[in-house]
Copies of this chain bind each other. A is one copy, B any other.
Amino acid sequence: MTISFELKSTDGAARRGRISTAHGMINTPAFMPVGTAGTVKAMHPDSVALTGAQIILGNTYHLMLRPGAEQVAALGGLHKFMNWPGPILTDSGGFQVMSLADLRTIDEQGVVFKSHLDGSRHHLTPERAIEIQHLLDATITMVLDECTPFPATEDEAEHSMMRSMRWAERCKQAFVARPGYGLFGIVQGSVYPKLRQRSVTQLATTGFDGYAVGGLAVGEGQAAMLEVLEATLPSLPKDRPRYLMGVGRPSDIVGAVRRGIDMFDCVMPTRSGRTGQAFVRGGTLNIRNARHAGAEEPLDTACRCPACRGHSRAYLHHLFKANEMLGPMLLTWHNLQHYQDLMAELRQAIEAGRFEEVARRWEAAEQPEGPG
């Protein structure tokens, strides 16, 4: 029943594990590329798999509006629809809906919102969020939570967290357990350790197949984010995977793995790739920069993606200058490869008991305002 999680080895708090699902296996720590609207933007699904990704994320909000959850179900589910036979985790739609600001109202029952596409009115409740994810055939379903704004007072954060806990309970009731499928709860509580603790206790009492840490990467900064993880992770059930939602830069991932996170998702590698920003072992660079116009070397000599095996920086620069689609295609592939290489190195390092050595190398290399 459900999904299984095997903890293979640890190095400090860092964990090397394996999740088994109805759609295949996921080595952790794992990074999930984001496939918002049924496609990891600018990537053939085969290419996503070639980077080493074993699981991708789909967005309930986008898919429920277009083409519609019932439509995806009629077409055989999201795996078949987008030709990704591997595991898919879907978010609950809450994050996107709540960022609509003027277009939504929240009460205890759920969220009413207007579609950004056609203004049509939709109601997202915990029960409907689960139903939609069933229709999509998500391997891992996320509970609907209220995304606490940042900053929030402790009172605001408590009220918001408690509502999320009540919604999590309703999601658990609505979720139809099937072998190899799982439901994850989401820890809330903003930056307040006591609230995070209460949230963990509530969720663990209900019991979920995995636990996500939500409400982070919303402007609190890396130090505060890592403090929240330190206040949260030690009390989470050790035998279940832990997922840090919406994170992040390579150094964020390294810091979170160090504290015991197993799963990540972020639009950064794909979104950056489309605008010409590349993650390389020495930091980041913008391929549109004029200094790359004549550069014969590849983006990253240590990378085996098609952009690095086949092309010079000068060619990639040319593609972006000429607005050629192949530019975003190659840089997206490269950035996803970079993230998967990071995860593979972290997994090997944990197995070898060399986590700190490898982690520090990645942290030292990161120069967010780097060589440009």
Q: Which of A322-372 contact B (CB under 8 A)?
A: 322, 324-326, 328-330
Least Cβ–Cβ distance between A333 and chain B, in angstroms: 9
For A310, the chain B residues whose CB sits under 8 A away are 45, 83
Contact between A326 and B41, CB atoms less than 8 A apart: yes
Contact between A322 and B75, CB atoms less than 8 A apart: no
Asked if A192 lies at the interface with its beta carbon under 8 angstroms from chain B, I say no
Contact between A325 and B326, CB atoms less than 8 A apart: no
Least Cβ–Cβ distance between A275 and chain B, in angstroms: 13
What are 13 A-B interface contacts by the 8 Å CB criterion?
A: A37-B318, A37-B324, A39-B319, A41-B324, A41-B326, A44-B306, A44-B330, A67-B293, A71-B294, A81-B312, A82-B315, A83-B315, A325-B328
Binary contact readout A58-81 vs B (1 if CB under 8 angstroms, 0 otherwise):
000010001100010011100001
For A84, the closest partner residue in chain B by CB is: B310
- What is the copy number of this chain in the assembly? 2
Contact between A326 and B43, CB atoms less than 8 A apart: yes
For A325, the chain B residues whose CB sits under 8 A away are 39, 41-42, 325, 328-329
Contact between B41 and A315, CB atoms less than 8 A apart: no
Contact between B294 and A324, CB atoms less than 8 A apart: no
Question: Residues of A at under 8 Å CB distance from B?
Answer: 37-39, 41-46, 62, 66-67, 71, 74-76, 81-83, 293-294, 296, 306, 310-312, 314-315, 318-319, 321-322, 324-326, 328-330
Complex Cα–Cα for A319 and B42 (A): 11
Q: Which 8 A-B pairs have the closest CB atoms?
A: A83-B310, A39-B326, A42-B325, A37-B322, A67-B318, A39-B324, A75-B314, A81-B315
Contact between B66 and A318, CB atoms less than 8 A apart: yes
Contact between A311 and B67, CB atoms less than 8 A apart: no
Least Cβ–Cβ distance between A106 and chain B, in angstroms: 27
For A318, the chain B residues whose CB sits under 8 A away are 37-38, 66-67, 81
Extra pairs beyond A37-B318, A42-B326 (20, CB < 8 Å) = A37-B322, A38-B315, A38-B319, A38-B322, A38-B324, A39-B325, A41-B325, A41-B326, A42-B325, A44-B306, A45-B310, A71-B293, A71-B294, A71-B314, A74-B294, A75-B294, A75-B296, A75-B312, A81-B318, A83-B311
For A39, the chain B residues whose CB sits under 8 A away are 319, 324-326
For A44, the closest partner residue in chain B by CB is: B306
Least Cβ–Cβ distance between A294 and chain B, in angstroms: 7
Least Cβ–Cβ distance between A273 and chain B, in angstroms: 11
